[in-house]
Amino acid sequence: MKMIVAVVQDKDSSHLSQALVENGFRATKLASTGGFLKAGNTTFMIGVEDEKVDDVLAVIKDNCQSRKQMMAPMSPMGGNADSYVPYPVDVQVGGATVFILPVDRFEQF
Amino acid sequence: MKMIVAVVQDKDSSHLSQALVENGFRATKLASTGGFLKAGNTTFMIGVEDEKVDDVLAVIKDNCQSRKQMMAPMSPMGGNADSYVPYPVDVQVGGATVFILPVDRFEQF
Amino acid sequence: MKMIVAVVQDKDSSHLSQALVENGFRATKLASTGGFLKAGNTTFMIGVEDEKVDDVLAVIKDNCQSRKQMMAPMSPMGGNADSYVPYPVDVQVGGATVFILPVDRFEQF
Ligand code: NI
Ligand code: NI
Ligand code: NI
């Protein structure tokens, strides 16, 4: 058995939760901040049999992979007019940092 | 040394905390949601020597074991009157999902 | 690779965060309570190559080591006047409890 610890952006968190459930995996979510990813993030703990690790990783990749996203220009009213870019820009969003930890023993009560 | 990671229902969390202290074990609690158990839950991290793992598991089992609990009928005022059951029902509460992880090294500063 | 799990007092948390960033380490912070340390605490998860573990431990020790701190006497207005100590006292603050866990595999998406 393995424990998969995945740190993902908050914006991908609910889609990942749902996809894990749909694929029959059970996860616990821990509130987390900063660090591996810049924006607010969520840490998922998922316990799985060794032969299912790649299936879980595929679900995480499908839902959280780092990607470019078009972002509408911010109103110059909100910030510094000097840094105002009057056209949509591509920003990097998503991404997941995943650790697969060995588990010595698993119990359910 | 091992790190015991236990996901338990919030309702059992304070009894487990107290029982761990009474038995001389130190735990850190992480706020967690969803996943292994349906209701709000708490994740305990407990560091122990290998020969104490079974003692900690016994404390967790004593305080968190899945059990039936009589639940008073809800007032039909609160919800759908069609689903109102006018007598107490047994519901499943509690339960713990526990991972025992190997620890390579332990330090205290 | 290792996952370093460090439980530190909240008061040392922001200094440790900053020091980790300055030294090129990336950490995820989990909100945690009680347990290993009496006051409110924060749990850091830090993923590092094996040969960097001691560097991370040095940063944690530098920023969180248990130490004595002079504490101004509390106003007797706030509590029990019987226990009022009208001179500054040394109190123990800080401290870190650190687990180094083996990592089987690491992925980034
Ligand atoms: Ni959506
Ligand atoms: Ni009670
Ligand atoms: Ni400061």
Tens place of pLDDT per residue across chain A (109 aa) = 999 999 998 889 999 999 999 999 999 998 776 554 455 788 999 999 999 999 999 999 999 988 888 877 655 555 555 666 667 788 888 899 999 999 999 999 9
What pLDDT band is residue C37 in, cutting at 50, 70 and 90?
very low
In CATH, what number is assigned to the domain containing residue C24?
A: 3.30.70.120
Residue C59 has pLDDT above 90, yes or no: yes
A41 domain residue, yes or no:
yes
Q: Residue C78 domain-assigned? A: no
In this prediction the ipTM stands at 0.82
Tell me whether residue A7 is in a domain. yes
In angstroms, the separation between the Cα of residue A63 and the nearest Cα of chain B is: 17
Residue C14 to residue A41: CA distance in whole angstroms: 17
Residue A34 inside a domain? The answer is yes
């008073």: which residue's tokens? B72
Which residues 1-30 of C are in CB contact (within 8 Å) with B? 2, 5, 7, 30
Kindly state whether residue B109 falls inside one of the protein's structural domains. no
| Separation in Å, CA of B46 to nearest CA in chain A | 14
Q: Helix %, strand %, coil % for chain B, to 5?
A: 30, 40, 30
Closest of B107, A2, B93 to residue C102, by C-alpha: A2
Search chain C and give the residue with CA nearest A98.
Answer: C107
- 3-class secondary structure, B24: coil
Instruction: Let me know if residue A53 belongs to a domain.
Output: yes
Nearest to C44 by CA among C107, C100, C92: C100
- The reply to whether B38 falls in a domain is yes
Indicate the DSSP class of residue A16.
H
**Mean pLDDT (whole number) for C94-103:** 95
| Number of folded domains that form chain B | 1
Give the Cα separation of A46 and C72 in Å (integer). Answer: 46
Supply the range of the domain harboring residue C8. Answer: 2-67+89-101
Residue B79 domain-assigned (yes or no): no
Of A32, A96, A102, which is closest to C30 when you measure between CB atoms?
Answer: A32
